[in-house]
Structure 1
Amino acid sequence: MNKRSLLGAAALATLCVLPLPALAQDKPPLKIVVGFPPGGSADLLARLLAEGLKNDFSSVIVENKPGAGGRIALSHVKRSPADGQTVVLLPSGPMVLFPHVYKKLDYDAVADFTPISQIAHFQFSVVAGPSAGAKSVAEMLAKAKATPGSATYGTPGSGTLPHFMGVMFGQKAGAELTHVPFQGGGPANTALLGGHIQYKFDVVTETAELHRSGKVRILAVTGAQRDPQVPEVPTLKEQGVDMVATAWFAMYGPAGLKPEVRDAISAAVAKAVRTPALRARLLEQGYEPVGSTPAELAAAQAADLKRWEGPIKATGVQLD
């Protein structure tokens, strides 16, 4: 065997024992952690996004870590390696409400996470279950005022945005409502259908299909405009309640994520939500696609932290 053949054989032997990442710059895997059970709005959005990201990563999986209104998922991601392989997808509440709501949090909403991208904006709904007997906001309020505290409403958890939607709605409308928290929108739907609670406050997506099938009735939406999923449903303002409230879903990584890794994930998310197919799916589900930069998400979070501070203090609600 000549010298060239020997060198070639040696090189081939070396390649055979090298791991695949050494042979080429393989795409990294991505795990999207969701703090709510399967079947809810956050889970649905994460799975739609995962499908849109599949060409930018070697694999994209969604892992549900429900409980505590998303705090369990946040704590998990906070402790994860800052390598860009584990991120959390969540509604804005845990990042802009919880710091004002909870006396103690095991995370800092700003210092412990790296903003990646604001994914979509959305609004909420006021939903009546079979036991409510209300076909409009006016009927709901009349019943609630007739027997203060008897009107129960479910949400995906204490301290979540829907929780405060209910508190603010009651204050604006002059009615006393009783909050019943659940570990996600799915369990709250089950309780609503079973007559264990009368009403529910949650994102429109959670109950749009149940509304269309006649199993529940969406009485109002909380945005400035009607929601395209249920265009026949009027806003709260149309029904005399002076309240407009919207929120957003976003993606964060643990603190210390390298800028180049952060920006690569953010760019992939922005590209995915702007593709015609995924954009159409998001709009169908009542989400307004965004796909922001990390800096834009950080600015939105800072603005909402400031915006919610006063209203939350005014409610007097504080949780342990």
Structure 2
Amino acid sequence: MAGTDAPMRARGMTRRAALGAGVALLAAPAVAQAQWPAGPIRFIGIFPPGGGTDILSRIWCQRMSEVTGEQFVVENRSGSAGNIGTEAIARATPDGRTIGLASVAPLAIGPTLYRKLPFDVTKDFTWLGGLWKLPNLLVVNNDVPARTVPELIALVKASPGQYSYASSGSGTTVHLSGAKFAAMAGLDMIHVPYRGGAPAHVDLLGGRVHMIFDNIPQALAEAREGKVRALAVTGAQRSPQAPEIPTMAEFLPGFEITSWAGVMAPAGLPPPMVQRIARLTRQALEGPDLRARFEENGATVWPADPEEFAAFRAAEERAFAPVIRAAGAQVD
């Protein structure tokens, strides 16, 4: 079978299919044995199905199926702020058949947050490339009367220890955004961690928690449907998807936290395969349809090569360390 990187005819993917757990993302059968060993490629998603990172991962996998002609099967291995799925990637056979999501939570925050991790971020992975960056969005449930960040600060200060913020797990940017907000504004709030963004939103909508700083795709969609109220984004600038929503830094100067994700494999992947996968990843990200779908979900395409990705991850670990220590967020 002749190897080629030419994109194949795109196939649509329904929203329902995109959100289904473990959905196999299929492509036409004739392209890429020279690019990967024969057989389906397992992509380990480290958060539950239905959340923002899962949606974006499936969009990328769909496009990679079209580019390579291979079958990508998404396997969600969630829990412990992405550490369970990340460990599964580290323990996989380095033959190119298993790759997975490289996320800021376990790879840049986890090394400082946790005293011990089940993997070594400097030794257990092969970095393949960047995928996206996106800010978080602070939303409150509709029972919270605050309509601006200053009003929320005043409300929480008036009732210390009575307001809670959800997260997709300890050590995620969702968690640290809330911890940084509490620290910078001098607030006493309760952190309620979940196994991912999707279950956190169930309790947010049900009124069991008061707020969340979640990745922008799901939070913005719920805000536009009137299910929650959006107060601020955590990026350095206002989001192009919602320019009417202010940044946290407009109220708390210096506040900035941005989520990011890439793709990685277990350590020991042969260098020629690393370069092929990196090239195909970049090719997939260059497609205008993928870029548009990422932007619809609040994300910006981030086509970093393996070396750039590795350097960026290390710099992010250094940058997050003082934030974690200042917030007193370190855990066993």
Task: Provide the TM-score with structure 1 as the length reference.
Answer: 0.89
Aligned 1:182-201 pairs, distance under 5 A: 182-201=194-213
State whether residues 127 and 217 of structure 1, in contact with CA within 8 Å, keep that contact through their aligned partners in structure 2: yes
From 82, 90, 103, give the equivalent of 1:91: 103
Aligned 1:278-289 pairs, distance under 5 A: 278-289=290-301
CA distance in 1 between counterparts of 2:118 and 2:41 reads: 24
Per-residue deviation, 1:104: 1.2
Summarize deviations over 1:157-195 as a string: whole Å, max 9, x none. 112111111111111112122100011111011000000
Per-residue deviation, 1:316: 2.2
Partner of 2:88: 76
State whether residues 37 and 97 of structure 2, in contact with CA within 8 Å, keep that contact through their aligned partners in structure 1: no
CA distance in 2 between counterparts of 1:202 and 1:69 reads: 13
Partner of 1:35: 46
From 76, 79, 100, give the equivalent of 2:112: 100
AA at the equivalent of 1:74: T
AA at the equivalent of 1:194: G
CA distance in 1 between counterparts of 2:170 and 2:158 reads: 26
Verify: 1:140 aligned to 2:152, yes or no: yes
State whether residues 271 and 291 of structure 1, in contact with CA within 8 Å, keep that contact through their aligned partners in structure 2: no
State whether residues 70 and 90 of structure 1, in contact with CA within 8 Å, keep that contact through their aligned partners in structure 2: no
AA at the equivalent of 2:42: K
Aligned 1:266-305 pairs, distance under 5 A: 266-305=278-317
The alignment partner of 1:270 has SS state of helix
Per-residue deviation, 1:24: 12
Partner of 1:53: 64
CA distance in 2 between counterparts of 1:25 and 1:174 reads: 52
CA distance in 2 between counterparts of 1:267 and 1:23 reads: 14
State whether residues 130 and 263 of structure 2, in contact with CA within 8 Å, keep that contact through their aligned partners in structure 1: yes
Partner of 1:13: none
How many residues are aligned here?
A: 300
CA distance in 2 between counterparts of 1:140 and 1:37 reads: 29
CA distance in 2 between counterparts of 1:229 and 1:196 reads: 28
Aligned 1:207-218 pairs, distance under 5 A: 207-218=219-230
From 184, 198, 202, give the equivalent of 1:172: 184
Structure 2 alignment gaps of length 5 or more: 1-31
Per-residue deviation, 1:241: 4.6
CA distance in 2 between counterparts of 1:163 and 1:25 reads: 37
The alignment partner of 2:119 has SS state of coil
Aligned 1:104-119 pairs, distance under 5 A: 104-119=116-131
State whether residues 117 and 252 of structure 1, in contact with CA within 8 Å, keep that contact through their aligned partners in structure 2: yes
When residues 25 and 154 of structure 1 are mapped into structure 2, their CA distance, relative to the original with a 3 A threshold, is: closer
The alignment partner of 2:120 has SS state of coil
Per-residue deviation, 1:242: 3.4
State whether residues 131 and 197 of structure 1, in contact with CA within 8 Å, keep that contact through their aligned partners in structure 2: no
The alignment partner of 2:132 has SS state of strand
Give percent identity, aligned residues only: 36
Summarize deviations over 1:120-172 as a string: whole Å, max 9, x none. 11111111012322211111111110011111000101121111111111111
The alignment partner of 1:97 has SS state of helix
CA distance in 2 between counterparts of 1:25 and 1:145 reads: 56
When residues 120 and 23 of structure 1 are mapped into structure 2, their CA distance, relative to the original with a 3 A threshold, is: closer
Verify: 1:255 aligned to 2:267, yes or no: yes
When the two chains are superposed, the root-mean-square deviation of aligned CA atoms in Å is 1.9
Which has more helix, going by share of residues?
Answer: 1
Which moved further from structure 2: 22-31 or 220-229? 22-31
Per-residue deviation, 1:267: 1.1
From 132, 135, 138, give the equivalent of 1:126: 138
Which moved further from structure 2: 231-240 or 176-185? 231-240
Per-residue deviation, 1:231: 2.0
From 246, 250, 253, give the equivalent of 2:258: 246
